[in-house]
Amino acid sequence: MTGKPIFDDTGNYLGYIGTVADVSARKAAEQRITRLAHHDVMTGLLNRTKFTEHLNNCVARLERYGAPFSVLFLDLDQFKSVNDSRGHMVGDKLLAAVAKRITTAARDTDIVARLGGDEFAIILPNDCSPEGNASLAQRLIDLGWPSV
């Protein structure tokens, strides 16, 4: 929205003239582009680029403040055989289901990402205790894994 006062030739105030533009569609498109740049389309998790950014931030916090963190990597064994025997649609559904289960097991403060293919990672900021890592790993195990 922009506007300015209008005066006649003698300097008498006549009012304002202005324009209004609806930018909500442009803002929504910008948000969508940002989301696509930072998230994996299939799972909705952070992508490798955004994960690396978070990891670099954690390393910087460790170096500057001594703030500990942990990183857990998950790789699905035999995933290629699922794609080969059941097809990529089933493989994609399996990846989405795994992502959902990882997100369910993770805490709100944990950073979950799909790095690519069948690889996932979790950053546990401010936690590098064996107990914290074991607790998350146990939650992941307790949820079980989807079958195809």
Three-state SS letters, 59-123:
HHHHHHHCCCEEEEEEECCCHHHHHHHHCHHHHHHHHHHHHHHHHHHCCCCCEEEEEECCEEEEE
Q: 148 pLDDT band (50/70/90 cuts)? A: low
Provide the pLDDT for residue 146. Answer: 67
**pLDDT given at position 128:** 84
140 exposed, middle or buried (CB, 10 Å; 0-12, 13-18, 19+)?
buried
Indicate which CATH number applies to the domain containing 52. 3.30.70.270
Containing H/E element for 19? Answer: strand 13-19
Asked whether residue 24 is domain-assigned, the answer is: no
Whole-number pLDDT of residue 85 = 92
State yes or no: pLDDT of 132 exceeds 90: no
108 domain-assigned: yes
For residue 102, tell me if it sits in a domain: yes
The whole-number average pLDDT for the span 54-68 is 96
Domain that residue 68 falls in: 42-143
Asked whether the predicted pLDDT for residue 99 surpasses 80, the reply is: yes
| Separation of alpha carbons 121 and 52, rounded Å | 10
Q: Is there a catalytic annotation at residue 110? A: no
Joined tokens for residue 105: 């097991």
The answer to the question of residue 148 being in a domain is no
In a domain, 69, yes or no: yes
pTM > 0.85: no
* Number of domains the chain contains: 1
Distance (Å, rounded) from C-alpha 94 to C-alpha 82? 9
60 located within any domain: yes
What pLDDT is attached to residue 147?
Answer: 64
Whether residue 10 is contained in a domain is answered as: no
Q: Which residue in the list 40, 110, 118, 127 is annotated as catalytic? A: 118
What are the tens digits of pLDDT across the range 7-51?
Answer: 999 999 999 898 888 888 888 888 888 777 899 999 999 999 999
- pLDDT, position 113: 98
**In-domain check, residue 3:** no
